[in-house]
Structure 1
């Protein structure tokens, strides 16, 4: 990251004390090393192999892995937690995305699969999966989205059929837009074993097994994530790789998908907030004398970031407490994605007509943040979720309801 990334923020962020404060300070400093490598990654997504020594690149693998499998202890201080809570992870995601969101998503680690394993896996399954992803560097994938169905979990067409002879299963189908899918060592695949919502299963796959095929797709933003298309051509799945196999069908595959989305929608919001803050700061670094109406626009956007950040951390605390409000999760993710786009558009306007040519980093960020709209559900899906919460009077907390009439609450449409 250039020295410009070391200047003061566009606003005074909410800061933490104690252990969380140490973590935030470390992440803020470590993220400085990601911007330059992120630009190289935009030109060559496989360049991530040149930056595996950076502490910030080890954060994802360490924080999303159970303690006994987590690596990076030689590069990371003791207060960086393994098997992080949602609140701890979104703090990391925000600051790492401030450095570079593409570099963060390119970093090795179990990624989205962590939440599914937490929700469904038994001890032997966790050991199988995390032993593979603990080797450095190792990537994993989370495969829900399909070419024709998107991420509609109840409409999956990828099949899990009984293997000939009745010993195990055979996986057949395709998945689309899967992060690091073509480079992963293992992954979790959602598929259909029977009709209806309770016929959905989540299975662990080893990409070295016969029948697995993958290719990287050409994309214009977040190139480091190496978005992939996967094909399963009669891939054999041993019985012990079906997650939650001893549970009732209502608490298996679909439950895992819902838990993963619930946990990682705030993560996407954190990525978006970090990128939006970076855009605001970049403008002030390039135009330190910014004043008048232009400075007011930056300040207004910084206020939006601060308010939404506070709501994001409230949502994460609710998830960690086991009482998540899915409607508020939807609202935060939707608003954060829009905010990141607004921030980069404002930065481009304030830096002039040729800004995306004269500022390659801003051009990259401008492209990167457009992906957040499509990650973990598009805006129209989340608007519906917010509307349902408002209709049921389940969206607002008691504190929100006590707010003055007409006062805007961040995170609502």
Structure 2
């Protein structure tokens, strides 16, 4: 993260954010039923999102993007996540991990090539997880070997659970460039790979618990030849570091999304509690219902405060690895508790698919898993705490 990122002019951003909020409420919420029924975001809405510049919000202005700073970017993600998660999913890899990897690690030529593609709405995916490895890069099986016919590389392997893979235009693929595991994961490099490159195929989209309209699938790489310029940053051994740095951004995105979706679920519960009557009065007047509503409001506020803090720190150029992880863990776990209470407020209706509460419950579950599970992030946070203690007391 560069220090002191001013982002878009504050007044301009507030106007854009107001317009976006209106778009979410008036256009995206009414289209949710169609998204869920068809398991796809309508092409017309994707085009509208492109026209609004959503696919390039974090791309620097000199490359045609909106140049939002991290605080503004998180607010956009939070607002877009008030609706069905598929809407965020379609552009989130572009503006989160992919744009962040370009910023942190790409050559100038790579930025000049790929930033404008993100702005025009080409869809990106991020290929880290494999059938046998996720956070454990030492177990990564995908390989990149020197192409004997030139200066390029040949990629082989399989990536799993890759968001947007079925319709992505470009992928950032992590692959081993060394057989042996090296310190600081220097055996892993990153490659910018157009998805129409010969040898690349994707599996059929996986059937999921929730998040209808958001698609994940395997990516199979079978002797995929890429030029030398595809190596992110032009150097081997840096890929995993770039990936981890961009995951800070991805974790802020997931935290912001979980917080926005929790707010949607709570708003739904408040409306239902005022409409549903028992013993002759709205259930909203019952104190145990009120306790569930109040606990949810308290926790959402805490997550919103964490989001404001971690994004401000990122914009000041601070190292946010621990705080981004902490925000993601808290927000995703909080969202899980909120949607569970919302089902309870709905009572029997909360278990029926015709009411929103059941969908909120299913959709929210993934937030505690992707971009680092709660448990992996607990380990990461603790490792840094212990390392700092040792440095101070060693």
Which bin holds the TM-score, normalised by the shorter protein? 0.7 to 0.9
Match of 2:302, SS?
helix
Q: Distance in 1 between matches of 2:41 and 2:13?
A: 32
Question: 1:312-357 CA deviation, whole Å, 9 max, x = no partner?
Answer: 2211111222212322222111111111111111111111113231
Matched, 1:200 2:193: no
Contact 1:109 1:133 (8 Å CA) reproduced: no
Aligned to 1:26, which of 19, 26, 48?
Answer: 19
Q: Distance in 1 between matches of 2:99 and 2:319?
A: 18
Question: 1:13-72 CA deviation, whole Å, 9 max, x = no partner?
Answer: xxxx8555444433322221222323322232334313235459845303033335547x
Aligned to 1:377, which of 372, 376, 392?
Answer: 372
Match of 2:352, SS?
helix
Please give the root-mean-square deviation of Cα atoms over the aligned residues, in Å. Answer: 2.3
Deviates more, 1:124-133 or 1:56-65: 56-65
Q: Distance in 2 between matches of 1:57 and 1:294?
A: 43
Gaps of 5+ in 2: 1-9, 275-281, 390-394
Alignment of 1:309-324 (within 5 A): 309-324=304-319
Q: Distance in 2 between matches of 1:388 and 1:164?
A: 41
Compared CA separation, residues 255 and 386, structure 1 to 2 (3 A): closer
Contact 1:58 1:108 (8 Å CA) reproduced: no
Match of 2:232, SS?
coil
Q: Distance in 1 between matches of 2:295 and 2:53?
A: 32
Q: Distance in 1 between matches of 2:114 and 2:11?
A: 33
Give the number of aligned pairs: 364
Q: CA deviation at 1:293?
A: 2.1
Q: Distance in 1 between matches of 2:134 and 2:93?
A: 24
Match of 2:224, SS?
strand
Per the alignment, residue 76 of structure 1 pairs with: none
Per the alignment, residue 185 of structure 1 pairs with: 169
TM-score for both structures, normalised by structure 1: 0.82
Matched, 1:276 2:262: yes
TM-score for both structures, normalised by structure 2: 0.85
Which has more helix, going by share of residues?
A: 2
Q: Distance in 1 between matches of 2:116 and 2:53?
A: 17
Matched, 1:51 2:45: yes
Per the alignment, residue 301 of structure 1 pairs with: 296
Contact 2:93 2:125 (8 Å CA) reproduced: no
Contact 1:56 1:96 (8 Å CA) reproduced: no
Contact 1:64 1:109 (8 Å CA) reproduced: no
Contact 2:353 2:359 (8 Å CA) reproduced: no
Q: Distance in 2 between matches of 1:358 and 1:167?
A: 55
Compared CA separation, residues 375 and 49, structure 1 to 2 (3 A): same
Alignment of 1:396-407 (within 5 A): none
